[in-house]
Every structure is written in C-alpha cells, then in structure tokens.
Chains A and B, each alone.
Chain A
C-alpha cells in the first residue's frame, strides 16, 4: 500500500501565533483520513501547505513522494483540492468549468471530451452540461466542484470541510462519492469539525486543536481510549462554582462542568445515575434533564481539550 501523503513535524507560524504546531500524520492509498477539530484549529492552514499555496515554517510534506515546494508541478499533478467555498466560474457552463480544469491540470487534449462527459455523468449533471453554473442549486455546485478536482485523476484528494452547508440529498451524494474514490484506491484527506462526518467517513482520524495533533487512530481505537464507559449529561440550574463531589467508589470522572451542564463519565450509567443525581443536586443545584450517552469522538475531544468541538 503506497503512502500518498506524509506530513512530518509541520510547523506554520503567523507572527507570534503557531497555526500548525509540530503536526505529523500520513495517509495511504485507499484510505480516508479525517482531521477533526474546531474552527481555527489549523486544519485549513495545513491543507494550504499541502497544496503548495502556503510555505511551511518548518517540517516537511511529501505528496506521492514529491515535495510540493521542491517539485511543485509533480506534487500538484498528484493532488486534487476542494476548498470550503465552491470556486467555480458561474458564468461558464458545467462542461466549460471542467474544460478549464482540464487545461489547468494538463489533461491530454485527446482525452478532455471523454473525461468531461464521464465526470458529468458521474455527478448526475450530464443533461445540464451546457447550462451556466449560475443557474445551479447549491448541491449541484458542490458536486461539480468535486468533479473539477477530479478531472486529472489525482491519487490524493484534499477536501476542506466538503460537507459544510450541503443539503441532505447532496450530502448523501457527496459521501457516496468520497467513499467510492477511496474504494478506487485514492487517498483522501478531509477536514471537518463535524464528529458525525468523521465517524461516518474516516478510516482514521486525527484530532487537532491549536495546531497540535492531540490523538490519532481509527474511530474504534479512539473510542476505546475512553474505555467502555457511559456518559451522563446533566442539565439544570448550575452556577459557575466547583463541580459537585462525586462518591469515589463510582469511579466517576467529570469531563466538563459549564453553567447549566455537567458531563460525567462513569462505568455504568444506570447504576451510577441515582447517586450522581443526588450528588449533583446537593448544594442547592437543580437538575432538570439527564441524558445517558455512549462515548463519541466529541467526547474524546472534550476529554482532551475541555472544550466541545462546536466551541
């Protein structure tokens, strides 16, 4: 299995701020790797370095064995990039956008026509090939945007928040397309701040915050790192005071304590619930709602950073 992306000890600083801080990970062919983190975690900065747009401060990157800054054209020939915004030419037709992408990515002229037709068919826009993109729905534009990144058949795909702001139908289409690309042997790196997307799509996930990789592994491995424990989410009239003292024999761990919400990890939710509830309501607190949850990647992020992904 070929390694199509290798990031080692990558650092990118802006003035005093370290946007990416000693980041290392790798993506192999056929793999979907997710960089999971909140907004401002350094995901997009990392993608920009990988595409050769932004030079790194330190560290190295290899795209299919090529350095994007040493051999940029060779590295770029191996990658396709889909940014957060649909950067299409609205006044050109779908086919013309793909033709332009073919020109930019040096697709042989003899193959352009068939390549464009094939992609339009694949994204379900063959019958609208001659229509201007400005008349397309948001979902259609998203599909075309992905197709534009695929015209030169790159072996590595960099998808920056590809599912943000997409309607359910287009979302399902895009998820199928991404999974299909991985099945075809392409390596996919996608960034997301949505835990569900990461759990659904990614074989491996790297959790990133403040430019640092906090944890990495398969979704199962990461969930296992939390143990087979339950989560009790208590909501009510809490103040900013210290978290309630829980009986030590419960083995309970307070993952986060915010005004109005307390998140506690316990061995067995059903057994611990009455005593956790009693402890929580001591000292004048009032619990209005209790939820028993299984641990997720968001739980892990919470445990690692003390913050939720949406914060």
Chain B
C-alpha cells in the first residue's frame, strides 16, 4: 500500500505540473460554465430565453382569444413573446427563421368546440431550433388537452345553446336561460379552476413542480454538462497513460519487482482523482454562477467519483485498443461523443426519441446524467430506479474497463 501511495503521489504531481493538462482541467469546466451563463444568464437574472410565437387566429372567437390570452398570461409571458399576425406574414417569417413556433387556429374553432366536433390546431416548429419549439409545442398541446377536458365538462351544460353561433337571433328567454347556465357553470369550482388560464402551469403533469423556472432549466442541462465535462477530461487525461505505455515508462515499471497491477492502479487512481477534482470545481462553478443545486454534497461527490471512474476506464479501454495516442484520442472522442448523445449529455433525454430514452438507461453516460438528475430532485427524470444501482453500475463499469484495459496494455507492451 505504501508503494501504491508513493507512486500515486508522484503521478498526481505529474498531472499538476503538466501545464496543458492543468489548463485543460480548469479551462473545460469554466468554459462550459461560461457557455451556460451566456445561454441562461447569470444567477439572479430573468434567465430563460423568450420564445417568439406567431399566432394566426382564423376563428377570432371566444376560445381562440382565450388560448391567445393563456399564452400571453403573466405566468407564460416570461417565456413566450406572442404576436398575432395573418397567415401569409406568419409563413413568411417562419421561412426566414424569425420565430420558434407558429400556431394556426382554424376558422370555426369556437363553434366546433361547442358542437363537439373534432378540432385541429396547427403547430409549426422552426426546424433550425430544437429545444424551444419543443417546449412551445408541449405547452400548446397541454392547453389543447385542457380545452378537450373542459369541453367534456361543459358539454352537458351547454347542450341547449348549441345554436348560439347561428344567424338566428336568440329569444330573450334563451339568453336568460343561457346566462343562468353560464353563471351556474362558472360557479362550479372545478370549472372555475379549469377556465382560469392564468393558473395553468407548463409542468401541470408534475404537481410538485408548479412552474418552469430558470433553475429548472439549468437543472435540465447541468447534469449533461457535468457528464460531458467528465467525458472530455477523462479522455484527455487518459492520454498520459497511453503515452506511458508507448514510451516504455510503463514497461519499465513492469520490469520491476512490484506486482504489475500496482503501477497501473496508481496511474488509474491518479486519473480518476484528477478528473473528479476538476469536476467538483465545475459543479462548484455551476452552483455559484447559475444557482444550480445539485443535491446532497456527499452523494454528489460519490456520483462524481463513480462517473469519473467509469469514464476513465472506458477512455483507457478505448485507448488500449489503439496503436498510438493520436489514434486513441480520435477513437475515444468518437465513441464518447456518441455515448454522450445517447446518455443525454448534449440534449436532455426527454427531448429525444423514445428509443434513445430507453438506451439512456443502459449506457454509462445515461447512468451518470440520470444520477445527477435524481440527486437534484428532478422528478421529470422519469422512471428507472434510484441512484444506488446507477452508482454501482458505474463502478462496475470502471472496474471491468480498467481490468480489460490493463490486460490489453500488458499485451501491447510486448510490442513496445
């Protein structure tokens, strides 16, 4: 054990003294934080970028105006900049990428609502954007679903006034009857809640989260950023071990009277510790700059360590399959970018196709990202179990990868 510690200390010294490595350690996390601050604004600012929505209202009825009001409500106005335009202008502006979302409410929408007819709201997304239009579509879908629910509640009560939209003038008794029904209808607390659009929440499906806030969005992306930083760091720093092999330094260690596993374990531990340390810096910077709250510090540290270990093992395994550090770097980068995408490092998995969401549960990057999400208490992270098995799976990946990598490197040493 004393030998192991001696070697480990010298390995850590090496990493601290390598200026490129040191700059990489510090620069990558802070670069990522800077990018996030540029995207989301610094802590305390209003945060989320506002989404430009074009609304074409061919109906101009009570319900279409209600939908417009909902999008324009104080709660959603922080996120949506809604502008009513004619269809030609709307399509022209969408073609020029001037808006994230185009919503077209067809003529006869209000009438069809009371007639219980099938209704369609057309939503066009800006293909050049990915996340904001997706969020917008989700909101509109939710409002439409709420409308459908509202209709099913209203239908029995409005059955007698379905000809309200016809040309025939209603009689005084009909108007009185209708007023009475509407009064009774809105006197019902359930209906009152449903029609109070300013109470609608984007995240209604998760009752414990009342509203999408800036910190929610930071929470969506921060775990992926942390996992991505670890992918970069471990890939870059594993190069030193591959260079130790190709330059003969590791071979020399293997000709000494120390069990071959000791120097390899010391080098791998130095790699994991340095990557973990760097990631803790990143998490601290994210917390300070963006107000991210990653959760219980002890568990976060455990998750960081397990992730760093798994990614280091994978990076080293990929490098042990290649001939030289340049080829190793290219191979590891390619595979890790793919794993990063599948695990939700670049885009939260909820915005990805369902098969990717399934894959995310079986790849180390997915375990890493979801582990951080669980720690920060993001209920939208979905099902799939808890933190414990993910940390265990990451550690198992680390052990298996390191063992296999060491074996492959040992075989490669014969050719050095």
- Chain A contact residues, CB within 8 Å of chain B: 48, 51-54, 73-74, 76-77, 79, 81, 83, 85, 87-89, 91-92, 96, 99-101, 103-106, 109, 132, 148, 152
Contacts and interface: CB of A to CB of B under 8 A. Distances in A.
Contacts of B252: 81, 83, 87, 104, 148
Given A53-B414, A77-B257, A106 B251 contact: no
A296 B413 CA distance: 36
Contact of A104 (B17, B247, B263): B263
A73 B414 contact: no
B255 A53 contact: yes
27 contacts: A48-B414, A74-B257, A76-B255, A85-B248, A87-B247, A91-B14, A92-B10, A92-B17, A96-B10, A99-B6, A99-B10, A100-B6, A100-B7, A101-B256, A103-B3, A103-B6, A104-B7, A104-B252, A104-B253, A104-B256, A104-B257, A105-B256, A105-B258, A106-B256, A109-B2, A148-B252, A152-B256
Nearest to B6: A103
Given A53-B254, A76-B256, A77-B257, 9 more contacts: A51-B255, A73-B257, A83-B248, A89-B249, A92-B13, A100-B7, A103-B3, A104-B256, A148-B252
Chain B contact residues: over half helix, strand or loop, or mixed?
helix
Interface string B220-259: 0000000000000000000000000001110111111111
Interface residues of B, number: 24
Contacts, number: 75
A216 B341 CA distance: 63
The 6 closest A-B pairs by CB, nearest first: A87-B248, A103-B6, A77-B257, A104-B256, A51-B255, A76-B257
Nearest to A88: B249
A148 B252 CA distance: 10
User: Which of A76, A96, A103 counts the most B-chain CB atoms under 10 A from its CB?
Assistant: A103
A161 to B, nearest CB: 13
B7 A87 contact: no
B208 interface: no
A272 to B, nearest CB: 49
Interface in B1-48: 2-3, 6-7, 10, 13-14, 17-18
Contacts of B13: 92, 96
B258 A106 contact: yes
Interface string B400-416: 00000000000001100
